[in-house]
Structure 1
Amino acid sequence: MENGTHYRTCHLCEAMCGVAIEVKDGHIASIKGDEDDPLSHGHICPKAVALQDLHEDPERLRKPMRKTANGWKEMDWDEAFDLVADRLHRVRKEQGRNSIGVYLGNPNVHNHGSLVATMPFLRAIGSQNRFSATSNDQLPHMLASLELFGHQILFPIPDIDRTDLFICIGANPMASNGSLMTVPDVRGRLKALKGRGGKMIVVDPRRTETAKLADEFHFIRPGTDALLLMAMVHTLFDEDLVNLGHAENWTKDVDLLRLASLSFTPEAVSAHTGLEPDSIRQLARQLATTQKAALYTRMGTSTQAFGGVATWLAYCLNILTGKLDATGGVMFTQPAIDLVALGGFSGQQGHFGKRYSRVKKLPEFAGEYPASTMADEMLTPGEGQIKAFVTVAGNPVLSNPNGGRLDQALEGLDFMVSVDYYLNETTRHADVILPPTAALERSHYDLIFSMFAVRNFAKYSDALFEAGEDSRHDWQILLELAHRLEKKRKGGRLPLRSELGWRAFKQIGPDPILDLLLRSGPYGADIGPARGLVQPAVDLALDILPNRHPLRGMAKLSPLNRHWQDLPKGLSLATLRDNPNGVDLGPLRPCMPERLFTRDGKVNLAPRRYLKDLDRLHELLASPATDELLMIGRRHVRSNNSWMHNSQRLVKGKDRCTLIIHPRDAARCGLQPGDSAEITSDSGNVSGNIVLPVEITEDIMPGVVSVPHGWGHHRPGTGQSVASAHAGASINDVLSDQQVDPLVGTSVLNGQKVKVKVWRAERQRKRA
């Protein structure tokens, strides 16, 4: 790699900040924010400097590893591929195709090569036992988008750069840099919001980093967000504040929502939520009467017992107040590579509940089962029991509820393989680990997060460092395994046409596919004088072909579609290479109702699935308000899930894996500053406990405690010494995997009951 400055996108969270990486003599000399990046404008968070740590980490695996009786041993790639393909094929042949399970972790969505290779790999595996981080994360948003808009990843994004009121419920973008809202430099954007006379309101069980910047803040009891949001809906109808704006012509079932909200008055929900009735009414009024306003919810509202209903109601509130598809409200992106449209044109808008898991009978979503039932499917005998398992860039032992039980389940498998470059709490159970290249050794384009960005833009980066001769990209690993599995399934030999197709796919890789998608998309090739010859054919295809005809879909997405005539043109991989800082494609634009994928072309405001689940919400409303301790998670800007704790510069300093508790509850539990607390589950089949140092503060609501997500690096047999030295404890070791939102199947990560007491060592010290 030549000396100089190289521009790239940081892939360590959803913000997609531009970075300028200075290289000298083949090594990284510095990492700074890219001032010319059209989205981040020079901003980076502390995580960006960890790009160097991850790339240079001596504990990052670089060759295939096999577990033996004498420890881990290196092996060559062909031997590893043969072993993995043989063992997986044998399990499938002897136990059936569903005897293999697959788990995909979050890093895959930051990696366009992995995304391109995942589908052929999953087809080659052939199992229905597929899982991912989705059901511990954004599944309620995907279901709401599917039910209301007809497509599972058509997410409404807050137009934060032009809004005058930003209401943030159960989200902490100052720590997350946005989530399902790609928004670098949140602090700067909120400062700009206030500079134009705008306002931010935060509702959360904890006074988060975001809440401390808010103009107005309200505590809320965990798990009661759906009651608050329904009371806001009630207020809109009760005070005649409903105004759908231009959405009125393409939205239906408003009256059904009005009837559903009748009994959820602000007075009725106040005791459960902890908000005063007047505060609830004022929230609804401000949303309704501020022309440019956006309501945003995230992890706190989605990963709870009523996450599905709460997310649906947040969508409804934006629609009822005319904020959907409106400047300064919540809008839809028009990315350079439009996976929403590509999926819709091919009939892949998403699906829900086509089948149910074997043990818990939880609904599938887009072909996956909820991750909370993985251990059940491994531990419960019978046809379809998982006997072999594949993980790709995931650490579910730390990110999935009841990690101890999943530890037990993984230990009992016949075979396990992990595509990962760390020996972590999950991959330590594998028989073989196949390590891919590091991020700076491969090209980068954000296929997924460009769909969630607060501004349309495109950016591509070539590999910064040349991959080693004896290394493999993750897409190469997945395609090689898929190819070998297909050959074994076909008796050891594929038809010539199929064999040539596999070889071509593995040879060209993902970047030529990127180039084709860029050129054929709405910002794509400008064919100049030839346009006059081709344009009539495109117009004819749009006029006469049926909606679901593939040629009509191609014509609709084509840069020759007159609908895109005002968009910039000429985008290709070569264009992006010539513009290494990225290309600004403009602000979000109104696009409804053309962007809808519902059968009748209308927003379905009151899907029957949600109305039916309101029986549970009525039961909550009728039950007495509880004063038991409820636990919530949290995130820090220097961390992202479990996979960044082997960077010394990210974990150094003050211990961030602590129990946060209110002074009143600390006194009730006998805790004092400097103590450590023992936390145990009061919510199901979890028998373990965790011990954490205590932070006593009024920044958390009474009756609530908080533990950060992603820690717990004390387990033996891992290969991350920095993480082990800053082990912390895993919140998921005291969260039950039996608690899920029955509507969606999402794990309940916020609002489970716990017991807290002084750790016995502290108690003995006090007695002495």
Structure 2
Amino acid sequence: MASETIKTYCRFCHANCPMEATVEDGKLTGVRPDVDNEIFGGYTCLKGRQMPEQLYYPERIQQSLKKNADGSHTAISSSQALDEIAEKLKVIIDRHGPRAVASYNGTVSFQNSATHPVAKAWHTALKSPSYYTSITIDQPAKVGIGQARMGFWGGGSHTWGDSDVALIIGNNTLVSHFSIPGGIPAFSPSNALREGKKRGMKVICVDPRRSEVASRSDLHLQIKPGQDAALLAGLIHIILEEELHDQAFCAENIENLAEFKASLSRFTPDYVASCTELDREDIIAAARMFAGGTKGTASTGTGPEMGPNPNLIQHLTQAINAICGRHYRAGEKLPNAGVLSPLAPRLAQAVPPQPEWLTGTRSRVSDDIGEVTVLTANGPTKEMPTAIIADEILMEGDGQIKALLCVGGNPALAWPGQDKAYAALDALDLLVCIDYKLSATAEMADYVIGSKLCLERDDLTVLTDIWYEKPYSHYTKTVVEAEGDVIEEWELFWELGQRLGLTMTVNEQPVAMDSKPSKYDILAMMTRDSRVPLDEIYQRDGGHVYEVPDVIVQAADPATKGYLNVFPDGLSEELAAVVEQADEALAAKQDYPFLLISRRMKNTFNSTGPELSFLASKGTTNPAFMNPDDLAALNVASGDIISISSINGEIPAVAQSAPDIKRGVISMAHCWGAAPGAGTDDKVRDIGANTNRLINNLDGSEKYSGMARQSAIAVALKKLA
């Protein structure tokens, strides 16, 4: 029996942990951590170690499926399926125009490095703005709207490795394995946190739960959910009042600071303590601790970003970093400028607000909502906000979406407002999914295309290129050849583009449309003129830190230097809304005394994981985690079935005692359950419940992104028989 060990990396989530795969006679027989890797040091998580089972999952889709009139699916070749899909798309485009054709590129689509550039190229060639991704479900403010309103620092923000303080707001990287530069690195996060603490780093964690990060922090602010904006405003108020800010940096690079300070006058320590249910002295201590560091960054996670006021929260997070001068200055070394893009000068100056990033095709739901620019690994890209896609499908008239390509996502579980999402998916003239399993959305699809899994394809660490704190990259070649009639996600767009006669370009380079390019060809276009040539990365076995010249931040260019705007138009109204919401929350407490928040779980990645035996052994539901004192007051025990209701809906859940949860709070993971329908509630112990049934996707719609409130939801609960 021929056995081979191949270096690769996991793509179960975004962390890209290096692994060594064992292959015997063309079959994957095992994976283990790559202990030789300099960046990760042999770290992997339990999800990634299940890849052999995922690859040979008995119910895996290994041929395309076509939906029959009775709702069942029949096997069909991928070539024939793509032919038929293309013909149906032509009819829809002829009748309704290109905007009627949309794609939703979910979380898993980010794990394939070529998917998004090719998908966007397809939409551009088709002249359809209906390009949606999971980014606008949970973090459009972080990756676009915040920079558009305030601007950003050309020299880059401080990273974890050289910081002595960190303010972590609703981000639990030890479980989520997701972060941004400045927060706990997603690669070997426990070790990164341990090393930071060892060198004397001070960590402030804001979380309604004593999470894995909170339990290791120097100061844990166990905040009332939904009050993150009030807390941030209060911290900035203290810093400015006590003159703890970087006055020289502010004077040179920030405009409207006086107006900004005045707008925060109501957010005194006493007022913020009453809103957030935090101790007044802890709030003051947090402000002084963060401002007292020499380097360090405030960063947010999906907790506050999916709650109320995400645009404001992101603005205040950027603002506290700016007023404390948490940016690299002229003459300082930038730890990592990336290796997969051309080297551009990094200047110690403010890049002013980018208002054009908030313009483009408008939603038919509201003129305040429309295309937003998000910063991706391949540069700024415009996309429509996913929060309102269901309405774009259901709302009749010019521009109504009639066809949807669903790539690496499960919108029946992921889109806010599940009942509306399900109705929208059901109303489409054409629904196409590419997936490796028959998900809740794929079950509804007219065509399901079987997808390759990560070890069956080449890939490159494009997504995480600038997340590393050293110039690191990893090209992995295909480990095992895929069995069956399956394709990669990006190939779906190329195949349909060819059949529709489109001319596509990636990174301003034409994509061959007469014969399919290789994955390497696509990656070469994406990384044209990269600091390290792609072929050099391709030739190396495993991930590597490359010897490249240091990037030193240069002095400002007087001709292009701008200012960071900490008091953009509309900020006063947003701050006033925070006060109004606090009053509304008190009024609603009588009927809905609990607040439901989102969370991550170690054994799943959104809706992927429960189908695998080892991960299922860790739990087959998304429990409603609650403080034991709340359970006792309701005469509820762990394992009891409870009903959770909001003004929008009701779901069952399995109660679970959790002393780390603040009283009055229920913590549940999203993307569980099934499509709404008779009988699914009875299976809550086996499949969980979908918290999106408690949400109206238009409640509290954020300007620009249309984001709905998906965390800090006011709910009531009762014990079920």
TM-score bracket for this pair, using the shorter chain length: 0.7 to 0.9
2:596 aligned with 1:640, yes or no? no
SS in 2 for 1:35: coil
In structure 2, what is the equivalent of residue 649 of structure 1? 614
SS in 2 for 1:631: strand
Q: 1:351 aligns with which of 334, 353, 357?
A: 357
CA contact (8 A) 1:454 1:587 kept: no
For residues 672 and 300 of structure 1, the distance between their equivalents in structure 2, rounded to whole angstroms, comes to 26
Deviation string, structure 1 residues 449-501 (Cα, Å, up to 9, x no partner): 223334331111111112458443222221110122236xxxxxx99xxxx96
2:240 aligned with 1:232, yes or no? no
CA contact (8 A) 2:65 2:448 kept: yes
1:393 positional shift: 1.1
2:516 aligned with 1:507, yes or no? yes
Q: 2:688 aligns with which of 712, 721, 728?
A: 728
In structure 2, what is the equivalent of residue 110 of structure 1? 111
SS in 2 for 1:282: helix
Change (3 A) 1:132 1:116: closer
1:127 positional shift: 2.6
1:170 positional shift: 0.9
For residues 289 and 516 of structure 1, the distance between their equivalents in structure 2, rounded to whole angstroms, comes to 45
In structure 2, what is the equivalent of residue 162 of structure 1? 162
2:448 aligned with 1:429, yes or no? no
2:284 aligned with 1:281, yes or no? yes
**Normalised TM-score (structure 1):** 0.82
One-letter code aligned to 1:149: G
Change (3 A) 1:637 1:697: closer
2:352 aligned with 1:390, yes or no? no
For residues 671 and 724 of structure 1, the distance between their equivalents in structure 2, rounded to whole angstroms, comes to 17
CA contact (8 A) 2:411 2:441 kept: yes
User: Where does 1:386-465 land on structure 2 (aligned, <5 Å)?
Assistant: 386-465=401-480
1:353 positional shift: 3.8
1:336 positional shift: 1.3
Which structure has the highest helix share of the two? Answer: 1
For residues 505 and 200 of structure 1, the distance between their equivalents in structure 2, rounded to whole angstroms, comes to 55
Change (3 A) 1:622 1:714: closer
In structure 2, what is the equivalent of residue 556 of structure 1? none
2:224 aligned with 1:221, yes or no? yes
For residues 468 and 710 of structure 2, the distance between their equivalents in structure 1, rounded to whole angstroms, comes to 26
1:756 positional shift: 0.8
> More displaced, 235-244 or 366-375?
366-375
User: Where does 1:119-518 land on structure 2 (aligned, <5 Å)?
Assistant: 119-142=120-143, 143-149=145-151, 159-181=159-181, 182-243=185-246, 249-325=252-328, 333-338=336-341, 351-361=357-367, 362-366=369-373, 367-468=382-483, 470-486=485-501, 503=512, 506-515=515-524, 518=527
1:667 positional shift: 4.1
SS in 1 for 2:308: coil
Query: How many residue pairs end up in the alignment?
Result: 689
Percent of paired sites with the same residue: 24
Q: 1:604 aligns with which of 556, 561, 565?
A: 565
For residues 580 and 548 of structure 2, the distance between their equivalents in structure 1, rounded to whole angstroms, comes to 47
2:717 aligned with 1:710, yes or no? no
SS in 2 for 1:288: helix
CA contact (8 A) 2:475 2:537 kept: no
- State the superposition RMSD in angstroms: 3.5
1:510 positional shift: 3.8
Change (3 A) 1:426 1:438: same
One-letter code aligned to 1:23: V
Deviation string, structure 1 residues 105-134 (Cα, Å, up to 9, x no partner): 112222122133112221244333332211
- Runs of at least 5 residues in structure 1 that lack an aligned partner in the other structure: 488-493, 525-570, 762-768
CA contact (8 A) 2:621 2:686 kept: no
One-letter code aligned to 1:12: F
In structure 2, what is the equivalent of residue 97 of structure 1? 98
1:647 positional shift: 1.5
> More displaced, 164-173 or 466-475?
466-475
**Normalised TM-score (structure 2):** 0.87
CA contact (8 A) 2:654 2:684 kept: no
For residues 595 and 741 of structure 1, the distance between their equivalents in structure 2, rounded to whole angstroms, comes to 39
For residues 450 and 701 of structure 2, the distance between their equivalents in structure 1, rounded to whole angstroms, comes to 35
Deviation string, structure 1 residues 667-709 (Cα, Å, up to 9, x no partner): 4444233321111222xxx33x221211123311122111112
CA contact (8 A) 1:159 1:330 kept: no
CA contact (8 A) 2:333 2:551 kept: no
Change (3 A) 1:656 1:417: closer
For residues 537 and 35 of structure 2, the distance between their equivalents in structure 1, rounded to whole angstroms, comes to 20
One-letter code aligned to 1:483: Q
In structure 2, what is the equivalent of residue 580 of structure 1? 542
One-letter code aligned to 1:690: I
Change (3 A) 1:603 1:742: same
SS in 1 for 2:135: helix
For residues 177 and 464 of structure 1, the distance between their equivalents in structure 2, rounded to whole angstroms, comes to 24
For residues 406 and 114 of structure 2, the distance between their equivalents in structure 1, rounded to whole angstroms, comes to 16
- Runs of at least 5 residues in structure 2 that lack an aligned partner in the other structure: 374-381
CA contact (8 A) 1:514 1:573 kept: no
For residues 708 and 422 of structure 1, the distance between their equivalents in structure 2, rounded to whole angstroms, comes to 21
For residues 52 and 479 of structure 1, the distance between their equivalents in structure 2, rounded to whole angstroms, comes to 29
1:260 positional shift: 2.1
CA contact (8 A) 1:670 1:757 kept: no
Deviation string, structure 1 residues 65-84 (Cα, Å, up to 9, x no partner): 10113521111233212210
SS in 2 for 1:30: strand
In structure 2, what is the equivalent of residue 738 of structure 1? 698
> More displaced, 217-226 or 504-513?
504-513
One-letter code aligned to 1:512: D
SS in 1 for 2:481: coil
SS in 1 for 2:14: coil
In structure 1, what is the equivalent of residue 53 of structure 2? 53
In structure 1, what is the equivalent of residue 41 of structure 2? 41
1:141 positional shift: 0.4
In structure 2, what is the equivalent of residue 552 of structure 1? none
For residues 360 and 561 of structure 2, the distance between their equivalents in structure 1, rounded to whole angstroms, comes to 22
For residues 669 and 688 of structure 2, the distance between their equivalents in structure 1, rounded to whole angstroms, comes to 9
1:716 positional shift: 7.8
Deviation string, structure 1 residues 419-457 (Cα, Å, up to 9, x no partner): 222211112111111222221111011212223334331
Deviation string, structure 1 residues 226-264 (Cα, Å, up to 9, x no partner): 110011111011101111665754333322322222221
SS in 2 for 1:410: helix
SS in 1 for 2:205: strand
1:757 positional shift: 0.6
CA contact (8 A) 1:20 1:33 kept: yes
Change (3 A) 1:194 1:165: same
CA contact (8 A) 1:116 1:510 kept: no
CA contact (8 A) 2:408 2:489 kept: no
In structure 2, what is the equivalent of residue 28 of structure 1? 28
1:414 positional shift: 1.6
Q: 1:620 aligns with which of 559, 581, 589?
A: 581
In structure 1, what is the equivalent of residue 376 of structure 2? none
In structure 2, what is the equivalent of residue 548 of structure 1? none
For residues 94 and 340 of structure 1, the distance between their equivalents in structure 2, rounded to whole angstroms, comes to 46
Deviation string, structure 1 residues 44-83 (Cα, Å, up to 9, x no partner): 1111112222221122212211011352111123321221
CA contact (8 A) 2:150 2:565 kept: yes
Deviation string, structure 1 residues 9-44 (Cα, Å, up to 9, x no partner): 211222221111122232223211112223211111
In structure 2, what is the equivalent of residue 629 of structure 1? 594
Change (3 A) 1:337 1:383: same
